[in-house]
C-alpha cells in the first residue's frame, strides 16, 4: 500500500522545507519512496534494529543530508526531533510489525516456517529473547501473553505444554515450539487458518519487543509532533495495533464538548480530520504481488488545529 501512503501524505509534503518521519525504517524502501516522491522534503527515519540502519544507510546514501537516520524506537520520536532541533513535522509514516529483513533472516527467529534460534528481538543488543521468555515466565504470564497478544483460544493449554516441556529441556529453537503448539491445538482447528503456531509467534514477538506498549506512547507522540496541516499514515498488521490507532485517531477527531452547548468553544473542537473511512485494505493486485501485505490496514489523519486544554 506504499502508493496509497504517498498519496495520503502528499498534500503536506510538497512545500520546500517539509519534514517527514519514517517511524519504521526497515530496509529503507518507504524512506526512499518518500525522498523520490517529495524532492523538497527532508527525511528523519528511525529504527531500533542496528542491522536495518546499516543496510538502509547504504540505500539512502545518494540522498545525502536530506536523510537523517537515527537508532531509536518509534516512541522516542519526540526526543529525536528535539535533539535535531525540529519543532514540528509535516508527515509521519508508520509501517508496523516485523520487517521483511527480519522475517527473511533465519537466525532472527521471527519466522515459524524455518528452524532458527528463538530470538525475535528487533534490537538484538538489549532485552529478553523469546527463548528466555519461554523458559522463565510462569504459566499465568505465558497464558496471558498468548491470549492477549496472540488472540489464541488455546492459550492456557499451550502454556501448560510449554511449562512442562521446558522442565525436560529448555527451549532454544523454533521448530520444537512449532511442533508443540501444533500438537496442543485440536486437529479440527488445525485444518483452517494456516500454521497454528502463527498466533504464538506473534504473541512472543510483541512481548519481546514491547510493541503495544511502545505503540501506545508512539501514536500520541507522533500526533503531537505534527504541525497544523501535517498528516500521519499508519499501516497495521493485526487487530490489536489497528484498534489502538483507531482509538487515538477517533479521539482526536471527536468533539469533547458537553452536550447542549449552543456554541462549541475551540478547545472542545476536533483537532484531527480522518483521511480514511475506517481502515483501508490492500488491493487484490497488491496481495498477489506481496502475500505479506494481506493483513495490512491503513488509517490516516490530518492535524487541523492546535490542541488547547479544555477549561475545567
For the segment(s) 2-95+211-303, the CATH number from 3.40.50.10900, 2.40.50.180, 3.40.50.2300, 3.40.50.150 is: 3.40.50.150
> Could you tell me the pTM of the whole model?
0.88
29 among annotated binding-site residues: yes
SS3 string of 214-234?
HHHHHHHHHHHHEEEEEEEEE
* Through-space distance between the first and last CA atoms of the chain, rounded to whole angstroms: 43
74 among annotated binding-site residues: yes
Q: Domain map of the chain by residue range?
A: 2-95+211-303, 107-209
Any bridge partners for residue 226, and if so which? Answer: 89
How far apart, in whole angstroms, are the C-alpha atoms of residue 122 and residue 70? 15
Residue-wise pLDDT tens digits, 178-215: 999 999 998 877 766 678 888 999 999 999 999 999 99
Which residue in 46, 95, 73, 75 sits closest to 235, CA to CA?
95
| Residue 171 cell numbers, joined | 527451549
Which pLDDT belongs to residue 37?
Answer: 96
Residue-wise pLDDT tens digits, 15-66: 889 999 999 999 999 999 999 999 999 999 999 988 889 999 999 999 999 9
28 among annotated binding-site residues: yes
Residue-wise pLDDT tens digits, 110-131: 666 678 899 989 888 888 999 9
Pairing of strands 226-236, 67-71: unpaired
30 among annotated binding-site residues: yes
Topology of the domain covering 107-209 = DNA polymerase; domain 1 (1.10.150)
Pairing of strands 272-274, 297-303: antiparallel
Amino acid at each position: 500500500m506504499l502508493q496509497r501512503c504517498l498519496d495520503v501524505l502528499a498534500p503536506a509534503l510538497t512545500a520546500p522545507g517539509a519534514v517527514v518521519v519514517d517511524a519504521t525504517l526497515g530496509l529503507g524502501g518507504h524512506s526512499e519512496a518518500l525522498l523520490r516522491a517529495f524532492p523538497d522534503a527532508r527525511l528523519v527515519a528511525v529504527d531500533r534494529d542496528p542491522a536495518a540502519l546499516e543496510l538502509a544507510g547504504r540505500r539512502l546514501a545518494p540522498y545525502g543530508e536530506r536523510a537523517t537516520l537515527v537508532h531509536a524506537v518509534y516512541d522516542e520520536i519526540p526526543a529525536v526531533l528535539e535533539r535535531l532541533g525540529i519543532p514540528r513535522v509535516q508527515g509521519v509514516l508508520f509501517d508496523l510489525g516485523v520487517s521483511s529483513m527480519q522475517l527473511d533472516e533465519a537466525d532472527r527467529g521471527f519466522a515459524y516456517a524455518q528452524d532458527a534460534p528463538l530470538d525475535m528481538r528487533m534490537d538484538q543488543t538489549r532485552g529478553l529473547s523469546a527463548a528466555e521468555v519461554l523458559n522463565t515466565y510462569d504459566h499465568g504470564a505465558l497464558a496471558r501473553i498468548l491470549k492477549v497478544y496472540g488472540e489464541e483460544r488455546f492459550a492456557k493449554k499451550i502454556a501448560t505444554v510449554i511449562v512442562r516441556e521446558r522442565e525436560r529441556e529448555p527451549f532454544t529453537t523454533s521448530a520444537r515450539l512449532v511442533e508443540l503448539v501444533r500438537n496442543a491445538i485440536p486437529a479440527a482447528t488445525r485444518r483452517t487458518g494456516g500454521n497454528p503456531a502463527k498466533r504464538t509467534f506473534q504473541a512472543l514477538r510483541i512481548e519481546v519487543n514491547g510493541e503495544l506498549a511502545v505503540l501506545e506512547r508512539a501514536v500520541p507522540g507522533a500526533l503531537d509532533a505534527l504541525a497544523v496541516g501535517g498528516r500521519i499514515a499508519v499501516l497495521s498488521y493485526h487487530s490489536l495495533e489497528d484498534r489502538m490507532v483507531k482509538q487515538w485517531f477517533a479521539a482526536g477527531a471527536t468533539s469533547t464538548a458537553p452536550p447542549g452547548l449552543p456554541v462549541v468553544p475551540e478547545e472542545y473542537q476536533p483537532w484531527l480530520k480522518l483521511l480514511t473511512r475506517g481502515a483501508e485494505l490492500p488491493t487484490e493486485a497488491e496481495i498477489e504481488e506481496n502475500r505479506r501485505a494481506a493483513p495490512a490496514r491503513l488509517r490516516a489523519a490530518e492535524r487541523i488545529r492546535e490542541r488547547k486544554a479544555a477549561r475545567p
